[in-house]
Structure 1
Amino acid sequence: MTAAGEKALREELDQLKTVDRPRVIADIAEAREHGDLKENAEYHAAREQQGFIEGRIQELEGKLSNCQVIDVTSIPHTGKVIFGTTVTIINLDTDETKTYQIVGDDEADIKVNKISVNSPIARGLVGKEEGDIVNIQTPGGAAEYEIDEVAHI
């Protein structure tokens, strides 16, 4: 994963451990004071939320302990598309220009132009260089793109 992706996961983990977990524990304690736990909807909702939080904490800790962080800014620029680079491509059929950053699965968000290294577009681009023309299979059919620029941002 990229350095920014690791930072985001660490921030989420910190939020869950220092803010959300104590809040849910307090909610459970407050709901217990209301009496009969069998028919106490607040208690059951808080326990369910606690289960989600604990599950997410375990998931994040597992990902962070097994991840390899790649800081693309420290890698010399060769013009080759690799994990973490930001790639500007031109659709040769429509002359439409798009810019994507190739990131890990956890960081992928098409709304901010971050695509997973496992996506069809990224798989077609990785290993290619600036100026290369690539043919990529998309859901709408095959498309031909020219790699305009590869940036280490």
Structure 2
Amino acid sequence: MSRGFVKEGDQEETPIIPPRAALPAGATNYVTPLGMELLQAERKELEEESAKLPTTNEQQRRIELAILNSKLDLLNERIASARILDPATQPKEEVRFGATVSYKINTSPITLTFQIVGVDEADVAKQKIAFVAPIAVALTGHTIGDVVSFNMGGELRKLEVLNIQYD
């Protein structure tokens, strides 16, 4: 049908749905058991939100439903591709997925700590970084006392692994 016969008020713009956290092509979608719980809780929340949409404005409801369904589709794809990797099964003496790593940069007295988690669970404010983050990749496979060269902001830095824990 020609666009000339469509009322201007009936034209809806396609909502833009932001993508989920980046997972490099071909990378396995590793998640911790907690990460999987968080993904499933997010799905439940989206489903509940979808069921509670108000029915007073049908056009607005359709737009909000399309957004929720798109988010749900992306989330379901991520859940379907998830491979749970329990930190408790990792070798305790080296940095692997799920490890909480303490390290220092060069001769700095400041100790930094983060946990290596899945891309959807990563949250810098909670000291959780994705296993695909450059610093996580650099430290993976190393043991306490190892010094690792790492390019940080154009400068080559030395990172010393101080502690490795698995919760």
Q: What is the TM-score of this pair, normalised by structure 2?
A: 0.76
Distance 1:6 1:90 in 2: 30
* In 1, Cα distance between equivalents of 2:91 and 2:155: 35
What do residues 30-58 of structure 1 show as CA deviations (whole Å, max 9, x unaligned)?
224xxxxxxxxxx33x3222111101111
Q: Report if aligned partners of 1:120, 1:137 keep a CA contact under 8 Å in 2.
A: no
> What corresponds to 2:150 in structure 1?
136
After superposition, the Cα gap between the structure-2 partners of 1:123 and 1:76, relative to the gap in structure 1 and judged at 3 Å, is: closer
One-letter identity of the residue aligned with 2:145: G
Q: In 1, distance between residues paired with 2:33 and 2:131?
A: 15
Give 5+ residue unaligned stretches, structure 2: 1-30
Would the alpha carbon gap of residues 48 and 141 (structure 1) be closer, same or farther in structure 2, given more than 3 Å must change? Answer: farther
Q: Please report how far the alpha carbon of residue 74 of structure 1 lies from its aligned counterpart in structure 2 after TM superposition.
A: 3.5
RMSD: 1.4
Kindly state the Cα deviation for residue 76 of structure 1 after the two structures are TM-superposed.
Answer: 4.5
Aligned positions of 1:25-104 closer than 5 A:
27=54, 29-32=55-58, 43-44=59-60, 46-77=61-92, 79-104=93-118
5+ residue gaps, structure 1, are 33-42
Give, in angstroms, the shift of residue 148 of structure 1. 0.6
Distance 1:107 1:51 in 2: 25
Structure 2 counterpart of 1:2, which letter?
T
Instruction: Give the match for residue 51 of structure 2.
Output: 22
Q: For 2:162, which of 145, 148, 153 is the aligned residue?
A: 148
Alpha-carbon separation, structure 2, partners of 1:76 and 1:123: 16
Which shows bigger deviation, 81-90 or 137-146?
137-146
Q: Which residue of 2 aligns with 1:36?
A: none
Give the aligned residue type for 1:87.
V
Does structure 1 conserve the Cα–Cα contact (< 8 Å) formed by 2:103 and 2:159? yes
Structure having the larger proportion of residues in helix: 1
- Percent identity, aligned pairs only? 26
